[in-house]
Amino acid sequence: MSQSPTSRRYRVNNLVRAYDEDESVLRERAAKMMKVSEDEISDIVLIRRSLDGRHRPRFLYNVEVELEGAKALGQAGKDLPKNVEWAPDPGLLARRKFKPRTDERVVVIGAGPAGLFAAHRLAESGLTPILLDRGQPVEIRGRQVSGLMHRGELDPDSNICFGEGGAGTWSDGKLYTRVSDIRVRHILETIVELGGPADILVSGKPHLGTNRLVALCKAFRAKLTEMGAEVRFGAFVKDFEIDKGVGGDKVSAVVLRDGERIECDRVIMAVGHSAREMYHWMAQNKVAMTPKPFAVGFRVEHRQQLLNEIQYGKWADVPDLPTADYRLAANLKDGNTKRGIYSFCMCPGGQIVPSPTLPGGVCVNGMSHASRRGQFGNSALIVSVEPSDFGSFGDIEGLNDYDGLLAGMAFQHEAERRAYELGGGGFIAPAQRLCDFREGRPSVDMRESTYKPGIAAGDLSRCYPEFIIKSLQTALERFEQKMNGFLTNDAILVGVETRTSSPVRIERDDSSFQSLSIAGLYPTGEGAGYGGGIVSAALDGLRVSERILEELS
């Protein structure tokens, strides 16, 4: 819906500003696009700003404009100029208010984006949720992550995947999504209210960086506690108690590893994409779930200056331009399968980090700080895999457990085991120069890398089945055509990246969001197969919590 024509506020899209111009030019250009004089504009508000670096770098803007004297454009508000539309009614953007008529106890498992935002929504509406996480608060978790990076010390419960903030805490902190939902705006507003930079409300590609995410987690925890929520760390949920009534199974309590029992009426399960113990529990107890496609590959690392030059050309050293990123994709036909190969979670000016959750396996991810000033940029280069691909390693451990429900998890585990073996142990990661990989020859030496545990030159084709390696090798030629200079032997691949998303989907009802098998259990976020990043996971957490609030109001 849009505003009534009497409000006279308009959305003006695709205003252009050169990188060396001031934002004051927007008023003049908005007036020209609207075919009015500058004097007739009483107010102009920035809605969105994004960089277009395809040719000469420039910025694109969407703004909201109010005209003096309730002036209408066109004939009674019709026939609006190109790129001009009625602004949305501000009332439609307000957060919904809920007044629960009950003090039901809701347990939220997992303090990642889905769990944090679900708990926040419940608490601000008057409930007192209990938020549990197997890992530690960010102050302690930071020391554990440092121990893994510098000394190879892995805590299986608190690491880059588990702990306060979830797997996104040590990442680039990207906050953009293609999903169109007003809750996305609410998520960004909540982050700003908790101390995040106001710029994320208008940036076309908002991001926080690990340093800001750590501070945000502390503020989030303090706010939840202030609103009456209980937040507990080191709380590994080992089991659920299920009441078997006439109407079917219903969750009644969660049981922690130390034996503590927490009675509850509902459980929001936001455990993240690496909660392998939870997937085992679901499979053992015949909870409705299905194997799910995901993607695997490696991290590619280039010198950031090279990426800036490829993306910006002669403007690469302009100080006002953001550190260059990229997005690459190719679709190949593999027999009867169409296979996507693409970049994922690009970290400009960042570093490659270890993300294992179990000993004996190596997997990697990327992170960057808010400034993105590091000398190297990295991105995952990954290949989509379908459930029909999960047996391509051959007969591996776990492949056929529970009638193959966890075959995707077994596939991930085998790739990580091979990478650990190829690196020589100690979470040293196998690596290969990019051109060597493209030509199918092992690398015998290696330049420096941001991956702190260390890298070992080798042959990455030993980490995956042949179709993944061949797909990546073919796609590299296409990526070079799109970004001339991308395919260089100074760039390196570091393996393996396997935790791009959950290997299963825990099935839930489309209306109530409850498990198809257990009433009162709400599979949520990326770990349940319903998200793919910080914002999309947070968005799913909000959807689920609001559905609960609707039932209780």
Domain boundary among 89, 123, 139: 89
Beta-bridge partners for 130? 107, 230
Mean pLDDT of all residues in 173-188: 92
In a domain, 10, yes or no: yes
pLDDT at residue 89 is higher than 90: no
Q: Is residue 511, in this structure, part of any structural domain at all? A: yes
pLDDT tens digit string along 221-234?
999 999 999 999 99
pLDDT at 1: 40
Residues 427 and 458 grouped into a single domain: yes
Number of independent structural domains in the chain: 3
pLDDT band, very low/low/confident/very high, at 3 (cuts 50, 70, 90)? very low
pLDDT value at 32 more than 50: yes
- The pLDDT of 354-376, averaged and rounded, is 97
Say if residue 209 is in the same domain as residue 278. yes
Under DSSP, is residue 499 helix (H, G, I), strand (E, B) or coil? coil
| Greatest pairwise CA separation for the chain in angstroms | 75
Alpha helices, H only, 285-433: 304-312, 407-423
Structural domain contains residue 360:
yes
User: How far from chain centre, in Å, is Cα 444?
Assistant: 35
Contact assessment for residue 396 and residue 410, using Cβ atoms and an 8 Å cutoff: yes
Same domain, yes or no, for 277 and 144?
yes
CB-CB contact of 165 with 210 (8 Å): no
Q: pLDDT at position 2, please?
A: 45
Same domain (yes/no): 492, 375: yes
- Render pLDDT for 35-54 as a digit per residue (tens, 0 to 9): 999 999 999 999 999 998 76
Which of 38, 57, 89 is the last residue before a domain boundary? 89
pLDDT of residue 70: 57
- Does a structural domain hold residue 96? no
What Å distances lie between residue 509 and 321, 513, 517, 547, CA to CA? 46, 5, 10, 12
Is residue 208 assigned to a domain? Answer: yes
Q: Do residues 449 and 322 both lie within one domain?
A: yes
CB atoms within 10 A of CB 446: 17
Domain assignment of residue 153, yes or no: yes
Closest alpha carbon to 426 in 359, 499, 355, 351 = 359
Indicate whether 377 and 247 sit together in one domain. no
Domain end (from 475, 497, 519): 497
Instruction: Give the span between the Cα atoms of 407 and 402, in whole angstroms.
Output: 9
Query: Which CATH number fits the domain that encloses residue 264?
Result: 3.50.50.60
pLDDT at 90: 79
Residues in contact with 22: Cβ distance below 8 Å, sequence separation at least 6, in sequence order: none
Q: How confident is the model at residue 335 (pLDDT cuts 50, 70, 90)?
A: confident
- Tell me which residue range forms the domain holding 121: 106-290+504-552
pLDDT at 319: 83
Angle at 347 between CA 344 and CA 353, to 5 degrees: 95
**Contact predicate 285/255, CB 8 Å:** no
Q: Cβ(362)–Cβ(419) under 8 Å?
A: yes
Does one domain contain both 131 and 280? Answer: yes
pLDDT of residue 5: 46
77: domain CATH number?
3.30.70.2700
% of the chain residues with pLDDT over 70: 97
Phi, psi (rounded to 5 degrees) for 187 = -60, -50
Tell me: do 431 and 300 sit in the same domain. Answer: yes
CA–CA gap between residue 169 and residue 172 (Å, rounded) = 8
- Tell whether 115 and 231 lie within a shared domain: yes
Main-chain dihedrals φ then ψ at residue 508, nearest 5 degrees: -140, 160
Same domain, 314 and 203: no
pTM equals 0.94
The answer to whether the peptide bond before residue 496 is cis (omega within 30 degrees of 0) is yes
Task: For 244-289, write each residue's pLDDT tens digit.
Answer: 988 899 999 999 999 999 999 999 999 999 999 999 999 999 999 9
Asked if residue 241 and residue 110 are part of one domain, the reply reads yes
Average pLDDT, the chain: 94
Whole-number pLDDT of residue 71 = 65
Does residue 53 lie in a domain region? Answer: yes
Q: Is residue 95 part of a domain?
A: no
Predicted local confidence at residue 179, as pLDDT: 87
Whole-number pLDDT of residue 115 = 98
460 & 471 share domain: yes
